[in-house]
A = this chain, B = another copy of it.
Amino acid sequence: MRTIFVLLGLLAASVTVNAQTLTSPDGNFKMQFHLSDEGKPVYSLMYKEKEVINESKMGLQISPSIAFDRNFSVVETKIDSCDTVWKTVWGQNSEIRDHHKELWVALKQEKSGRLLNIRFRLFNDGLGFRYEFPVQNNLRHFTLKEELTEFQLAGNHKAFWIPADYDTNEFQITTSRLSEVPLLIDEARNEPLACKSPTPNLAVQTPLMLKSDNGLYINIHEAALVNYPAMHLNLDAETYLMSAHLTPDKNGNKGYIQTGSVTPWRTIIVSDDARDILASNLILNLNEPCKIEDTSWIKPTKYVGVWWEYFTGGGSTWAYTDTQDVVIGQTDYKQLKPNGHHGANTAHVKEYIDFAAKHGFDAVLVEGWNEGWEDNYAYAKEFIYSFTTPYPDFDVKELQAYAASKGVKIIMHHETTSSVADYERQMDDAFRFMKDNGYDAVKTGYVGPIIPRSEHHDGQWMVNHYNRVAEKAAQYKIMVNSHEAVRPTGLCRTYPNWIAQESARGTEFESFNGIRPDHQTILPFTRLMGGPMDYTPGIFEGDLSVYGSNKAKLGTTLVKQLALYVTMYSPLQMAADLYQNYEKYPDAFQFIKDVAVDWDHTYILEAEPGDYITIARKAKGKNEWYIGGITDENSREALIDFSFLPKGKKYQAVIYADGKKADWRTNPKEYVIETRTVSHKTKLRQKLAPSGGVAISIKEL
């Protein structure tokens, strides 16, 4: 890793009237900072002479009661720059360049003597800034009442948004003008979800994707969310002023801060080409380097599991018995009558191990292995699960030996049902139990309202919890895939064992209220900006009525499910369907078997949020490439340019395409598989069905 820090300027202390301008390395961005007449910090951002963020105020409201957003004067400013390359442990690219200029401003409130610093970093793909609270004489602890950061947008942009909510991110995504959000938000909020706490006012979540009428793509999010609540964005739908809305605890406080600390970075990623948004590494660059010394045990993973059968309506259950009057630690499960359709039984798990071994999967996820599922009543019940006690029909030692003999790992499942204080009590024992029994990855879950009952999923306390799980798991050399946790902010750079998250509407909703065909064309521009998602694609049998009374139907074609393995980046990818369904379509299944889960390079070929995405990636350490292309409810013709391939060679491409009459509504499973020779000169016009896709695997000939 090479690092170049150049000290460009150091201004004298106590400059009272001052405007600072910072320009991105490539000159496309111009950021300005100054103090208003009231001593309020103000910033603005231009991209190629177009307004991105007009003058917007900064600051905080804290308690003991201080308006920490005015009466400042500038004590000192510094301008630095950085150009360095760092290696990823896993990722869309094996190396990432961090090239930015930095403006650091030290502010002081004259009367109180209180100090606040602001650090800006301007990259070629956007801006990041954060507040810093230096150690000082007159302020050691304070309560965050609100962060007052504004984002004054320049127009009535098109927005890809979900309603702000302190407890869930699993909404359908709405596409509308900002001015239309007030008309649409009630309907968006209305969807039944396991635990909802909508904001009292008009607000949306980040990552927020915007498109301006003058052709700018703007993404607002945050990076390095540590010891701070997640940020939502208030919206004034008439002036297009957005402002920070931090997730509170239930006492109305937003956070508890000790000086000598910093806030997360607020990020604004901008381009006039939508592909640059997907290619941006700004959020990763604003996170701290990897804190794990030995990362050899962190392994991108492709897995199957005892999971989808719980959603199909086919009758399989997490619970071992139908008796609900269980008390964890007291009930003797061996005395209870099994219900006869418990998914996580030894024999059935072995079937999945066999399947994984046969088809080259790394691991098998098993949900419902541990005591407590019969009566997992969130919030009211605190002591729900034992994380060290398997059900009587789940033989931990036998399965450990069996999986090891087949070269397959079993992935542990820790559903907490948000009884988090109790999970923390059990965590060390649970992780030790995992290591004692050969597990090195855990899927965590946070369904339902949180205990401690003062807390929301996205508040400071829970943010600290998720980070603590990642950190503690790293001590045990355990990889973490967290579901229903706060949306990611690039912390997987710092803790690469935090290998994936859910934190959005994933495939499970194909069995509930459905997923709209444009969903997967938006998620990479919103949720995935913060980090990989365990989306769990690969559903081949999309008509759930074949299992029973569930009338749900998949919102994509079968081929689009294949394409998602490339377009929905994650180092953790599930083949989510029942293994029997893969056995029915072995030729299509071949793509899932082949596709890589870690990459040297990523090439965003086509992208328009809400419409389509086509991405090519080179498998890490191999001369193999995979392409995924998807479309929304409209069919389209993708133009796939193979110029990313090395010159002068021939390659074999296996193309998995929607059949001529394929359509997600009427004919989702029609596909054609074609093999052809390609080179870096190839340009392929490929038809995609409504909510269809294309998947291509490429090898050197």
Chain A residues in the interface with B (C-beta under 8 A): 135, 140-143, 249-251, 253, 256, 258-260, 324-325, 327, 375, 377, 379-382, 421, 424-425, 427-429, 452-455, 461, 464
Contact = CB atoms under 8 A, between A and B. Distances in A.
A430 to B, nearest CB: 12
Contacts of A253: 453
Given A453-B452, A454-B453, A327 B251 contact: no
B381 A141 contact: yes
A429 B141 CA distance: 28
Nearest to A260: B325
A135 B325 contact: yes
A250 B140 contact: no
| Copies of this chain | 2
B140 A375 contact: yes
Given A454-B453, A455-B452, A256 B425 contact: no
Contacts of A141: 377, 380-381
Top 4 A-B pairs ranked by shortest CB distance? A452-B452, A454-B454, A453-B454, A141-B380
A454 B424 contact: no
Contacts of A375: 140, 258
Contacts of A461: 382, 452-453
Given A141-B380, A250-B250, A327 B260 contact: yes
Contacts of A251: 250, 453-454
A134 to B, nearest CB: 10
Contacts of A260: 325, 327
A375 B140 CA distance: 9
Contacts of A455: 452-454
A129 to B, nearest CB: 24
Contacts of A256: 379-382
A506 to B, nearest CB: 28
A380 B143 contact: yes
Given A249-B453, A250-B453, A253-B453, 20 more contacts: A135-B325, A140-B377, A141-B377, A143-B380, A250-B250, A250-B454, A256-B379, A256-B381, A259-B325, A260-B325, A421-B424, A424-B425, A428-B428, A428-B429, A452-B453, A452-B455, A452-B461, A453-B461, A454-B454, A454-B455
Contact of A140 (B258, B324, B424): B324
A193 B382 CA distance: 31
A143 B451 CA distance: 14
A325 B259 CA distance: 8
Nearest to A427: B425
For A259, A427, A454, the residue with the greatest tally of chain B CB atoms inside 10 Å of its CB is: A454
A147 to B, nearest CB: 17
Nearest to A259: B325
A166 to B, nearest CB: 14
A421 B327 contact: no
A74 to B, nearest CB: 24
A379 B256 CA distance: 9
A562 B424 CA distance: 45
22 contacts: A140-B375, A140-B377, A141-B381, A250-B251, A250-B454, A253-B453, A256-B380, A258-B327, A258-B375, A258-B381, A259-B325, A382-B464, A421-B424, A421-B452, A424-B424, A424-B425, A425-B425, A452-B452, A452-B453, A452-B461, A453-B461, A454-B454
A692 B258 CA distance: 49
Contacts of A324: 140
A140 B374 CA distance: 12
For A250, A380, A429, the residue with the greatest tally of chain B CB atoms inside 10 Å of its CB is: A380
A260 B330 CA distance: 11
A419 to B, nearest CB: 11
A682 B50 CA distance: 103
Contacts of A453: 249-251, 253, 452, 454-455, 461
A377 B258 CA distance: 10
Contacts of A454: 250-251, 452-455
A429 B249 CA distance: 29
A454 B142 CA distance: 19
A259 B375 CA distance: 12
A140 B425 contact: no
A454 B461 CA distance: 12
For A142, A325, A424, the residue with the greatest tally of chain B CB atoms inside 10 Å of its CB is: A325
A453 B375 CA distance: 26
Contacts of A143: 380
A259 B325 CA distance: 8
Nearest to A258: B381
Contacts of A259: 325
Contacts of A452: 421, 452-455, 461
A251 to B, nearest CB: 6
A572 B500 CA distance: 52
A136 to B, nearest CB: 9
Nearest to A253: B453
A382 B425 CA distance: 16
Contacts of A250: 250-251, 453-454
Nearest to A428: B428
